Amino acid sequence: MLLKGLKSLDNKFIDTDSVEGKDPFDHPVAGQSLTGAMGQWPWEKPADISDVNDAFDFVVKKIEEDPETGQRLDKQMLAGMPIESIVNTISWSGFAEGKWSPDIAELLKMPMSAYFLLRAQEKNIPFVMFNNTERDQGLSDHQVMANMRESNPDAYKYMKQKMLGNSKTSREEEGSFLTMDKEGVI
């Protein structure tokens, strides 16, 4: 059985998943990635495909020739996964595997999006084009007033008076020096 934890100086076990068990210095040193052997990762080598058209043809051929892959992608679109997400995954994966450069990955996104859009239309698959289709509407006036009532009651009273059409503010009602008649001023 594996024991989970480390022994501290006083021979007590510390759970490695706890805050106390984390070593704050257990990180790579700055520039450490530059000290390894070059070509260790696929993206450190020259890309297999250096033309966007060739990369597009490669991806389409892979999808069209393997029915299982095509069906899987169709199911993802049917399930509501945005085409943008599918395309981002394909373009990044090709880069990570060393198939193409990051530039080709970015340039590949537009034709791949068009391909999946047409594929979905041909197969009558309802699709979602972009991530985050719902726009952030921000806070409604009602939400702002409710928050103001709790966090800033004075401002809430002022705004409520203004909204109801009361022209006098609380300072005017208190007899502020700003509302004094000019007659009493020397």
- Cα–Cα distance between 51 and 107 in angstroms, integer? 10
3-state secondary structure of 14: strand
Paired tokens of 127 = 């699709």
CA 116, chain centre distance (Å): 22
Burial class (CB in 10 A: 0-12, 13-18, 19+), 174: exposed
- Cα–Cα distance between 7 and 5 in angstroms, integer? 7
The one-digit pLDDT tens for each residue of the chain (186 residues) are: 344 455 555 556 666 666 666 777 777 888 887 888 888 888 888 999 999 999 999 999 999 999 999 999 999 999 999 999 999 999 999 999 999 999 999 999 999 999 999 999 999 999 999 987 566 567 777 887 887 788 888 888 888 888 787 655 555 555 566 666 666 555
What are the residue ranges spanned by the domains of the chain? Answer: 44-122, 140-169
